[in-house]
Amino acid sequence: MLKFAVKTVCALAVAFASVGSAIAQNYPTRPVRLLVPFAPGGGTDLVARAVATKLGEGIGTTVVVDNRPGANANIGNELAARALPDGYTLLMTSSALTINPNLYKNLSYDPVKDFAPISLATNVPYILAAHPSLGANTFQEFIAIARSKQKAISYGSAGTGNSTHLSMELLKIVAKIDIVHVPYKGTGQALTDLLGNHIQVFWATMPPTLPHVRAGRLKGLAVGSLKRAKAIPELTTVAELGYPGYEAGSWFGMLAPAGTPKAIVARLSKEVNKALSAPELNERLSAEGAEPSGDTPEEFAAFIKTELVKWGKVAKAAGIERQ
């Protein structure tokens, strides 16, 4: 009886594997939707659109970017988690996926159980950008001004609990400054208000911010990576400037709903990595400050678990309680 049961289970496993392989061979037969849980114009959106074009070419269909901003990426993340696991709804999200469980008590999705990781797409160091009217030309000058004008300077974030928020709160602690937080619904909105001098500083993602820094519309004061960023190597890191170990940045990665056939996940991972290694896309993303990464579904899954622990420690250090 036991031998029969074992043989039955093995036969079913082989059958399911065969079905998954057949689905992958025929996939895709219609356009694929790529959800982005942030507003257009932000770093996640720019990377998603760049990857979507190449991915579509690789799998032979159109990949349509669908922006679903709100609730610090929770709306878009949840929509992806609840989508049919058939490979036709994907998610390009950010470190918000691993930050939010440390900020919200009753999330409607689990970042580990409800997703099938496809690939880490890019690592994105943040750039500390300031409006020229602040009068700070260097990071040290910004700190001096902030200390002399406690609570008179405002900074933007892409949303309460977003990594752009936590990164500045951590800097406030280590640099002993006190500036006012102004949350937005995404990087695009915060950047617009920074350009309009409605806020004075912003730990921003590089892709949408570097053009304004290079044009002189904003001042780049420092980068948040532990090593200098390839896109703007002349800017020093905060770690170099007397705050060893300080790191501010994000990542963008692609996932599918849990239960998506492994054969489809494997194919998508292969095509995303192929897209990221294409010289023109690689050079474009690197120049914009999004450093292409790429990895396997297994490596991305392990990375997500590590990030959950990391951001939990940052939220605790910043004194941000779960809502």
Distance, CA of 184 to CA of 162 (rounded, Å): 10
CATH number assigned to the domain with residue range 30-123+249-317, chosen from the 4 options 3.40.1160.10, 3.40.190.150, 3.40.50.620, 1.10.10.60:
3.40.190.150
Common-topology check for domains 30-123+249-317 and 125-241: yes
- On whether the CB atoms of residues 138 and 234 are closer than 8 A, the answer is no
CATH superfamily of 125-241: Periplasmic binding protein-like II (3.40.190.10)
In the chain, domain spans: 30-123+249-317, 125-241
Residue type, 123: N
Residue entry with tokens 């050079």: 283
Model confidence, pTM: 0.81
Closest CA to 118 of 273, 280, 240, 14: 273
Work out the widest C-alpha separation in the chain, in whole angstroms: 81
pLDDT of residue 323: 73
Is residue 33 a contact partner of residue 56, using CB atoms and an 8 Å limit? no
List pLDDT tens digits, range 71-101. 889 999 999 999 999 999 999 999 999 999 9
User: What are 204-260's pLDDT values in tens digits?
Assistant: 988 889 999 999 999 999 999 989 998 999 999 999 999 998 988 889 999 999 999
Whole-angstrom Cα distance, residue 314 to residue 169?
A: 9
How far is Cα of residue 230 from the mean position of the Cα atoms in its chain? 18
CA 82/CA 260 separation, integer angstroms: 12
